[in-house]
Amino acid sequence: MARSRFQAPTGTRDLLEPDTSRIRAAVDAFADKAGTAGFGQIVPPMFEDSGVFVRLGEASDVVSKELYEFEDKGGRSIALRPEFTASVCRAFAELRPLVPWKVWYVGPSFRYDKPQKGRYRQFDQVGAEALGSDDPELDVELIALAWRFFADLGLTDVTLMVNSLGDFADRPRYLEALTAYFESRLDELSEQARATLVKNPLRVLDSKRDVAVAAEAPILADFLSEEAADAFATVTAGLDLLGIPYTVEPRLVRGLDYYTRTTFEFVSSGLDAAQTAIGGGGRYDGLVEALGGPAVPGVGFALGVDRTLLACDAAEVFPAPSVGVEVWVVSVTEGPDGLALSEELRAGGVATGRAYDGRSMKAQMKAADRSGARIAVIVGEDEVKSDTVSVRSLRGDLPGRPEGEQQMTVARSEVVASVSALLG
Ligand code: HAM
């Protein structure tokens, strides 16, 4: 086939049926769970003043390398959102809602990432954020919400990793120890890690090329304040109480720099090694303030919809719903009977397809067969004269009718009721 002049931009795809129906079903399930837990939906803009996202951390790839940034016609510096948390905090700072403010969201995020399976430049996230309380039980409730969502999809191979990054006040001592450690092993670090070390030593822990050195680095758990340690103990006790399994991963750092205290990540063993994270989140107690709002704490998570569904594929769970038509209208009359019948059936809630362009009976029956419909509703000149239609099974006997009956005649005025009854 000749290559078309335009292709979808690198790292993006056209999502089609049945994937689109499956995504909608997953999002509906998430919306349902979030609503049950007291979260209302927020739809923030897809782009913001770039400054909103710079707070995510200049040392993070998401900001330093992957931001889709441009100047708009008014000379403003704009960026497509790489995630929702910063927008939610910007909205909080702007709108000052009553606390606790619990919101959930769904939509595309944009990162100029290196595309591969499970890693796209436009990908969908669902997530939830709760602002205005530093109660660690809220951290547990957020983790539980994501956990219930995965469980309801049928995903059982999900591992939850949790860690505490402590309070900002705990950081300097730890960063000092961490920097001293990495400096003592500088010649073993990759060039990239050495550059990162100057900007943010925490992120060296996350460097895929420096796993061996990172594995022996000092851990933040040994530097936590009493309050942060107590909060983390409440989180793990809460997870125990709810029967949610987890592993404490003392070197878990996240790709964004705003986190304090609890951080967590969900990984699925069914995915390729580089993209096992199907979701993650944590506390970000200083972010709203950094965006010019009041000093309110926050906690939340985002899940990658694309990756979650890839994990479902690997586990053979949450199949795509069937989206085909149930009935195919075949019309070989001179008049617009095909149009009238199809619209009548659709108005009656029956998923109906038909062929166009006045095709022959044979061609229409072939199309009916290919469509996957169970029943054909046929109208020809004879049927018009007797004010009836013929209803024919496309797969075996007519459902709910005596054995061997594959076709029946139905009064034109009864067509929706009869077909609905046959389809059960
Ligand atoms: P994140 O870990 O950067 O966190 O992204 C969350 C999830 O989005 C990832 O676990 C992954 O499943 C998915 N994801 C990220 N990048 C891509 C990509 N290029 N292609 C496909 N999927 C991707 C956040 O975004 C934070 N806002 C989470 C959060 C909310 N923290 C607190 N509140």
What is the 188 CA–ligand 1 centroid distance (Å)? 30
Q: Specify whether the CB–CB gap between 312 and 318 falls below 8 A.
A: yes
Q: Is 297 in the pocket of ligand 1 (CB under 6 A)?
A: no
Examine the pLDDT at 127 and tell me if it is beyond 80.
yes
Q: Is 307 in the pocket of ligand 1 (CB under 6 A)?
A: yes
What contacts 14, CB < 8 A, 6 or more positions away? Answer: 8
Q: Could you give the CA distance from residue 396 to residue 79 in angstroms, rounded to a whole number?
A: 57
Confidence band, pLDDT 50/70/90 cuts, at residue 58: confident
Q: Which residue has the tokens 């899940």?
A: 303
Q: Specify whether the CB–CB gap between 99 and 134 falls below 8 A.
A: no
61 or 298, higher pLDDT = 298
Atom of ligand 1 at shortest distance to CA of 125? 8
Give nearest CA residue, ligand 1 atom 17.
119
Q: What is the CA radius of gyration of the chain?
A: 28
Give nearest CA residue, ligand 1 atom 3.
255
**What number is the average pLDDT over the span 103-122?**
96
Give nearest CA residue, ligand 1 atom 16.
119
**pLDDT for res 64:** 82
Task: Say what the pTM is.
Answer: 0.92
Q: What is the mean pLDDT of the chain?
A: 94
Q: Is 119 in the pocket of ligand 1 (CB under 6 A)?
A: yes
pLDDT tens track for 239-261: 999 999 999 998 888 877 789 99
Q: Is 66 in the pocket of ligand 1 (CB under 6 A)?
A: no
What is the 44 CA–ligand 1 centroid distance (Å)? 17
Give nearest CA residue, ligand 1 atom 15.
304
Query: Do strands 40-41 and 101-110 pair parallel, antiparallel, or not at all (unpaired)?
Result: parallel
Is the alpha carbon torsion for 374, 368, 24, 275 positive or negative? positive
Q: Is 306 in the pocket of ligand 1 (CB under 6 A)?
A: yes
How many residues would you count in the chain? Answer: 424
What is the 166 CA–ligand 1 centroid distance (Å)? 21
What is the 412 CA–ligand 1 centroid distance (Å)? 54
Q: Is 301 in the pocket of ligand 1 (CB under 6 A)?
A: yes
Give nearest CA residue, ligand 1 atom 21.
119
Examine the pLDDT at 224 and tell me if it is beyond 80.
yes
**pLDDT for res 322:** 83
Q: Is 302 in the pocket of ligand 1 (CB under 6 A)?
A: yes
- Side chain identity, residue 328: W
Atom of ligand 1 at shortest distance to CA of 113? 19
Backbone angles phi, psi at 211, to 5 degrees: -55, -45
Q: Is 57 in the pocket of ligand 1 (CB under 6 A)?
A: no
User: What are the tokens at 318?
Assistant: 């949450």
Examine the pLDDT at 360 and tell me if it is beyond 90.
yes
Give nearest CA residue, ligand 1 atom 14.
304
Q: What is the 3-state secondary structure (H, E, C) of the chain?
A: CCCCCCCCCCCCCCCCCCHHHHHHHHHHHHHHHHHHCCCEECCCCCEEEHHHHHCCCCCCHHHHCCCCEEECCCCCEEEECCCCHHHHHHHHHHHCCCCCEEEEEEEEEECCCCCECCECCEEEEEEEEEECCCCHHHHHHHHHHHHHHHHHHCCCCEEEEEEECCCHHHHHHHHHHHHHHHHHCHHHCCHHHHHHHHHCHHHHCCCHHHHHHHHCCCCHHHHCCHHHHHHHHHHHHHHHHHCCCCEECCCCCCCCCCCEEEEEEEEECCCCHHHCEEEEEEECCCHHHHCCCCCCCEEEEEEEHHHHHHHHHHHCCCCCCCCCCCEEEEECCCCCHHHHHHHHHHHCCCCEEECCCCCCHHHHHHHHHHHCCCEEEEECHHHHHHCEEEEEECCCCCCCCCCCCCEEEEEHHHHHHHHHHHHC
User: What are the tokens at 58?
Assistant: 């200049």
Burial environment of residue 179 by CB neighbours within 10 A (0 to 12, 13 to 18, 19 or more):
middle
Q: Specify whether the CB–CB gap between 346 and 338 falls below 8 A.
A: no
pLDDT tens track for 71-91: 999 999 999 999 999 999 999
**pLDDT for res 63:** 85
Confidence band, pLDDT 50/70/90 cuts, at residue 44: very high
pLDDT tens track for 290-326: 999 999 999 999 999 999 999 999 999 999 988 889 9
What is the 82 CA–ligand 1 centroid distance (Å)? 9
What is the 304 CA–ligand 1 centroid distance (Å)? 6
Enumerate the β-bridge partners of residue 379.
Answer: 331
**pLDDT for res 57:** 74
Q: Is 259 in the pocket of ligand 1 (CB under 6 A)?
A: no
pLDDT tens track for 145-186: 999 999 999 999 999 999 999 998 888 889 899 999 999 999
Task: Return the number of other C-beta atoms located less than 10 Å from residue 261's C-beta.
Answer: 27
Give nearest CA residue, ligand 1 atom 18.
119
Q: Specify whether the CB–CB gap between 248 and 146 falls below 8 A.
A: no
Q: Is 113 in the pocket of ligand 1 (CB under 6 A)?
A: yes
Q: Is 82 in the pocket of ligand 1 (CB under 6 A)?
A: no
Q: Which residue has the tokens 């125990």?
A: 240
What is the 305 CA–ligand 1 centroid distance (Å)? 9
**pLDDT for res 309:** 96
Atom of ligand 1 at shortest distance to CA of 254? 2
Q: Could you give the CA distance from residue 354 to residue 127 in angstroms, rounded to a whole number?
A: 40
**pLDDT for res 115:** 95
Confidence band, pLDDT 50/70/90 cuts, at residue 1: low
Give nearest CA residue, ligand 1 atom 11.
304
Confidence band, pLDDT 50/70/90 cuts, at residue 60: confident
Closest CA to 254 of 85, 51, 4: 85
